[in-house]
A = this chain, B = another copy of it.
């Protein structure tokens, strides 16, 4: 086979301040591609079972892919993996922006970070060189300020900064990692891990351009995307952002409301992307080389919630968690909450669902104003939502109580509060309704990183499946609101595909089948064009399945069993109101689908990958 890809991986030991460069062979890249494939690989190799997620033994893997930086839409993504302080298993989170392409231009495919620095530092990577610099003066500062300061001291406005905010420094368990002050590797607390290592930021700058095996083919593919953007589903995100989905979720009865008690929210229109476009939208932002421009930049200069455009604007996940899930219908307040999350480095989803849970507990009398320091955590209280977001980010007052995450907080309050906690493996649910998009219940429960909206196609509940889905051999559309064997198959196939997107380091909006810009077959074309490999969709999906199995094997080693793969109690309760009134998941359908899923994956009844499955995937090195 052609020796298609030459890349470099930067290894940093913060304890000893040692920096080394590894140059893996081509076959390594072809086996793992990048992203969570590479991240999980190093985690499995280097993190001892039982390691403290916030201790120096944990490894933080910040990974790009073989495709990052190629001149085409949807490739500038960074994946961060580490043992998660939220789930205690494999952590995983993705983000876009300009940082990924800039990091690649600086010469590296991944940054594998071990140990703990004695004092706050940041990593400065430029044109194949890397150094650790003091970050004491940046500690405690919010992201926008830090980015400005680093660019000033490095005297280069094009430096891109991936960093934690004060929440990460203080190890809020669901602290995120931010780049461009508004792109977040949001889930599973990767910011807390970075904070525990005293690593404030990774600043990158480079002039390298990626090797492209077949520039003509790539150009053709890029041109195709330009020609077809306006007819694609994702063009809706260009127009109104991901929050443009709000009215559709409402119409389907799947907009998480009142801490997931209902799928409809009276105030849905006010928080929609459509209203955002008409009111506070300042501009549409983009990631490197992407024509979609789905990112929002909002600005509010008047009223109680003024918002700096530096911090971007809220996504669908944010308006639905800080918004409808808390019954908050004030878009300005949501935008302020979003700004605070980006400033302090908090995952908006976890923050929103934590607050919704706190409101639920407040209603049930499990939390009182005595606990909250006077905050009235009533449904729809926008002011309280904003205030609490800030308190969590600063780890102050009642924010301290919520800062260690759902599992710990709920346990303190007892079983009634635990029954109100909508999370899988401690990871709060994103803004999709498993009682409606039924396969998400299974997926959230079995997914190694807990409830995650980025790692599966949501539901095959189309009247006609898209051509892109049919490329996977999924030819039979299924009704909404039910679970069956065909949906288990759909879950597994699309989960593997989404894993492969996160190994290839590409954006699900541009390359995920339901958004219908590019399809899976075209992603294969892109990989062939960039690397020169005789790559196929078979191989791509096997890369994804390999990644899923590696993550699962990591969790198995940490002692996870089928008991950890379960549904939050709320999903077994009937939804209230709207077209999905009364819809609920049953424990029988869940358990039956889970056992089918395990068997289909080649996992045993505890959800552990079998030796044969690992060997099939070329992971014999993982077999103990």
A contacts, CB < 8 Å to B? 1-2, 27, 30-31, 464-465, 467-468, 470-473, 475-476, 485-486, 488-489, 492, 519-521, 524, 533-543, 595-600, 602, 610-613, 615-616, 618, 620
Q: Is the CB of B596 within 8 A of A615?
A: yes
Q: Is the CB of B618 within 8 A of A476?
A: yes
A-B contact pairs, 20 of them (CB 8 A): A1-B475, A30-B475, A31-B475, A470-B534, A472-B538, A473-B539, A473-B542, A473-B618, A486-B615, A488-B615, A489-B615, A489-B616, A536-B537, A537-B539, A538-B538, A597-B612, A598-B612, A599-B610, A599-B613, A600-B615
Q: Is the CB of A600 within 8 A of B612?
A: yes
Q: Is the CB of B472 within 8 A of A539?
A: yes
Q: Is the CB of A533 within 8 A of B473?
A: no
Q: Is the CB of A520 within 8 A of B536?
A: yes
Query: From DSSP, what is the main secondary structure of chain A's interface residues?
Result: helix
Chain B: CB-nearest residue to A535: B471
Nearest-neighbour CB distance to chain B for A399, whole angstroms, equals: 45
Q: Is the CB of A533 within 8 A of B1?
A: no
Supply 18 further A-B pairs (C-beta < 8 A) apart from A521-B534, A538-B540, A600-B612: A1-B465, A27-B476, A31-B475, A470-B534, A471-B534, A471-B538, A472-B536, A473-B542, A473-B618, A519-B534, A520-B536, A524-B536, A537-B537, A537-B538, A598-B612, A599-B602, A599-B613, A600-B615
**Which residues of B are found within 8 Å of A613, using beta-carbon distances?**
599-600
Nearest-neighbour CB distance to chain B for A25, whole angstroms, equals: 10
Nearest-neighbour CB distance to chain B for A598, whole angstroms, equals: 8
Nearest-neighbour CB distance to chain B for A438, whole angstroms, equals: 16
Nearest-neighbour CB distance to chain B for A442, whole angstroms, equals: 13
Residue among B27, B467, B534 making CB contact with A467, cutoff 8 Å: B534
7 tightest Cβ-Cβ pairs between the two chains A and B: A599-B612, A485-B615, A473-B539, A536-B537, A537-B538, A600-B612, A467-B534
Residue among B1, B489, B600 making CB contact with A470, cutoff 8 Å: B1
Q: Is the CB of B492 within 8 A of A616?
A: yes
Nearest-neighbour CB distance to chain B for A578, whole angstroms, equals: 32
Nearest-neighbour CB distance to chain B for A461, whole angstroms, equals: 16
The copy count of this chain in the complex is: 2
Bound Cα distance A611, B616 (Å): 20
Nearest-neighbour CB distance to chain B for A475, whole angstroms, equals: 5
**Which residues of B are found within 8 Å of A27, using beta-carbon distances?**
475-476
Bound Cα distance A27, B473 (Å): 10
**Which residues of B are found within 8 Å of A543, using beta-carbon distances?**
473
Q: Is the CB of B618 within 8 A of A533?
A: no
**Which residues of B are found within 8 Å of A600, using beta-carbon distances?**
602, 612-613, 615-616
User: Which residue, of A473, A488, A535, A610, has the highest number of chain B Cβ atoms within 10 A?
Assistant: A473
User: Which residue, of A535, A599, A612, has the highest number of chain B Cβ atoms within 10 A?
Assistant: A612
**Which residues of B are found within 8 Å of A470, using beta-carbon distances?**
1, 533-534
Q: Is the CB of B539 within 8 A of A471?
A: yes
Q: A521-B536, A541-B538 are in contact. Are A467 and B615 (CB under 8 A)?
A: no
**Which residues of B are found within 8 Å of A472, using beta-carbon distances?**
536, 538-539
Nearest-neighbour CB distance to chain B for A84, whole angstroms, equals: 29
Bound Cα distance A467, B536 (Å): 11
Bound Cα distance A1, B474 (Å): 11
Nearest-neighbour CB distance to chain B for A426, whole angstroms, equals: 28
Bound Cα distance A467, B543 (Å): 18
Bound Cα distance A596, B602 (Å): 11
Bound Cα distance A600, B542 (Å): 13
Bound Cα distance A464, B1 (Å): 8
**Which residues of B are found within 8 Å of A473, using beta-carbon distances?**
536, 538-539, 542-543, 618
**Which residues of B are found within 8 Å of A524, using beta-carbon distances?**
536
Q: Is the CB of B1 within 8 A of A467?
A: yes
Residue among B533, B541, B610, B618 making CB contact with A486, cutoff 8 Å: B618
Bound Cα distance A204, B539 (Å): 41
Chain B: CB-nearest residue to A610: B599
Q: Is the CB of A534 within 8 A of B476?
A: no
**Which residues of B are found within 8 Å of A1, using beta-carbon distances?**
464-465, 467, 470, 475
Bound Cα distance A472, B537 (Å): 9
Bound Cα distance A519, B488 (Å): 31
Nearest-neighbour CB distance to chain B for A597, whole angstroms, equals: 8
**Which residues of B are found within 8 Å of A610, using beta-carbon distances?**
599
Nearest-neighbour CB distance to chain B for A279, whole angstroms, equals: 40
**Which residues of B are found within 8 Å of A492, using beta-carbon distances?**
616
Nearest-neighbour CB distance to chain B for A262, whole angstroms, equals: 33
**Which residues of B are found within 8 Å of A615, using beta-carbon distances?**
485-486, 488-489, 596, 600
Bound Cα distance A611, B599 (Å): 9
Chain B: CB-nearest residue to A475: B27
Chain B: CB-nearest residue to A465: B1
**Which residues of B are found within 8 Å of A541, using beta-carbon distances?**
538
Chain B: CB-nearest residue to A31: B475
Bound Cα distance A2, B470 (Å): 10
Nearest-neighbour CB distance to chain B for A589, whole angstroms, equals: 14
Bound Cα distance A613, B488 (Å): 11
Nearest-neighbour CB distance to chain B for A64, whole angstroms, equals: 21
Q: Is the CB of B489 within 8 A of A534?
A: no
Chain B: CB-nearest residue to A546: B473
Bound Cα distance A535, B474 (Å): 11
Nearest-neighbour CB distance to chain B for A498, whole angstroms, equals: 14
**Which residues of B are found within 8 Å of A620, using beta-carbon distances?**
485-486
Chain B: CB-nearest residue to A597: B612
